[in-house]
Amino acid sequence: MKEDFLHFVWKFKLFNSLNLLTTEGEPITILKNGIHNHHSGPDFSGATIKIGDKLWSGNVEIHIKSSDWIAHSHQTDPAYKNVILHVVFRDDKEIYLDKPGDLPVLELENYISADYLEKYQHLTTSKAWIPCASQFPEVDEFKSNQFLESLVVSRLQRKSRDILRIYLETDKDWNETFYRWIARSFGFKINSEAFETLAASIPLKLIKKHANSVFQVEALLFGQAGFLGADFEEDYPNKLKKEYDFLAKKYALQRLNPVIWKFSKTHPPNFPTKRISQLAAFLCVEQSTFSKLLTLDDFSEIKESLSAMPNEYWKNHYRFDKPSAKLLSGIMGKSSIDNLIINSISTILYAYGQKAENYALVDRSIAVLEGVGAESNGIITNWKKLGFEVLSSKKSQALIELKREKCEKKKCLSCLFGVELIKSN
């Protein structure tokens, strides 16, 4: 058992609250459980409890064993002087604030139904894809939708932390932040760090200085990425190399070590060389600026920008000097564009909206997800098998967050479905 289970039991009063007694035999009447505190200090604040014939208002501290009070060094912390009740599963040691007998103790072991504990232990030890999949609870549709909505916000907030990290690294320049963030997203997880490093090595203002030429932007990006260090058999990469050598000398650029790029276990359309060519094309489109993004009423323009055509060379190449046996489209596919809008465009709108206290933009960031179809992956396929209808990326993002941040981490007590299952008869 973990302490968070006792927090859960106390919060929802999942114990026999009739005829409660302290370990000293005094009757307990709980009028207010208090507010759950997720920070430092006692676990619940603002509780109102009648103990014996006295009414107390203050804090409640919860432990598995009474001796945990000492183990957690509460006896030296003044924040715990206002604890009016020590709630424990098992009372194994006398604890007091100033003198013996001044801290009432409620031992819950004999008041909690074994059914609640059994359900909790089943969830936390389950090896199933979803811990509660075999007994998935029926949950009110309104409550379910509200919970999933909160998971979308949680996901956006978590991703925003990376954006705000970049924002600080760029001296609070939102244009540069957007450039690095969108570049990172072109890495599609496996090369995301490398793409962010690439963008950080060559400032946006330098890219925009040459944005009227896809060839020059490709030369800058491929050269900085370290892909133009060799002699090539084909004419185009040799031209890129010559252009980069000129620009690198002009701007005192230092190329990256190409070992940072990952090709293995990557499908050719997702090779970093292919994605860099598409990033170069995107950066040369007028609508690819952050200020333009903030004014868009719909995202057809940004989709069009992400579909910008790279140099003709990439219509039959995934890598330099290795022509493809068949003609390629060159441009980014629809699912990849949707992925960028979901994981890059929506998140930076949210981060900027929160930072600027522009809540219309915050709402738009979520509306973006409603306008994009759901992702197609193993996680969503399995949720559909459990009966979830997933029509938009807003719903799929919520379910991905649920799987990764709740189910995989066994945080069932902070999940609506886990809570409903444990509380059910």
pLDDT at 299 over 90: no
User: What integer is the mean pLDDT of 339-350?
Assistant: 95
The string of pLDDT tens digits covering residues 244-279 is: 999 999 999 999 999 999 999 889 999 999 999 999
Q: Rounded to whole angstroms, how far apart are CA atoms 254 and 131? A: 50
Share of the chain above pLDDT 90, in %: 80
**Residue 343 near residue 247, CB atoms below 8 Å:** no
pLDDT at 297 over 80: no
pLDDT at 425 over 80: no
pLDDT at 18 over 70: yes
Q: Rounded to whole angstroms, how far apart are CA atoms 106 and 44? A: 14
pLDDT at 304 over 90: no
Q: Rounded to whole angstroms, how far apart are CA atoms 282 and 304? A: 9
pLDDT at 344 over 90: yes
- When pLDDT is cut at 50, 70 and 90, the band that residue 330 belongs to is confident
User: What integer is the mean pLDDT of 164-171?
Assistant: 97
- Annotate 280-330 with three-state secondary structure: HHHHCCHHHCHHHHHHCCCCHHHHHHHCCCCCHHHHCEEECCEECCCCCCC
Which one-letter DSSP state was computed for residue 241?
Answer: H
| Burial (CB count <10 Å: 0-12, 13-18, 19+), residue 154 | middle
pLDDT at 137 over 80: no
The string of pLDDT tens digits covering residues 90-110 is: 999 999 999 999 999 999 998
**Residue 130 near residue 15, CB atoms below 8 Å:** no
Q: What is the pLDDT of residue 108?
A: 94
Q: What is the mean pLDDT of the chain?
A: 93
CB contact set of 242 (below 8 Å; sequence gap of 6+): none
Report the length, in residues, of the chain: 425
pLDDT at 130 over 80: yes
Record the tokens describing residue 242, joined without a space: 């010559």
Residue 137: how many CA atoms within 13 Å on its side-chain side? 21
Q: What is the pLDDT of residue 26?
A: 95
The string of pLDDT tens digits covering residues 369-396 is: 998 999 999 999 999 988 889 999 999 9
Better-predicted residue by pLDDT, 326 or 232: 232
Record the tokens describing residue 133, joined without a space: 């999949």
User: What integer is the mean pLDDT of 298-319?
Assistant: 89
The string of pLDDT tens digits covering residues 31-52 is: 999 999 988 999 999 999 999 9
Q: What is the pLDDT of residue 325?
A: 84
- When pLDDT is cut at 50, 70 and 90, the band that residue 173 belongs to is very high
Q: Which of 189, 186, 218, 187 is CA-nearest to residue 202?
A: 218
Q: What is the pLDDT of residue 134?
A: 79
Q: What is the pLDDT of residue 424?
A: 80
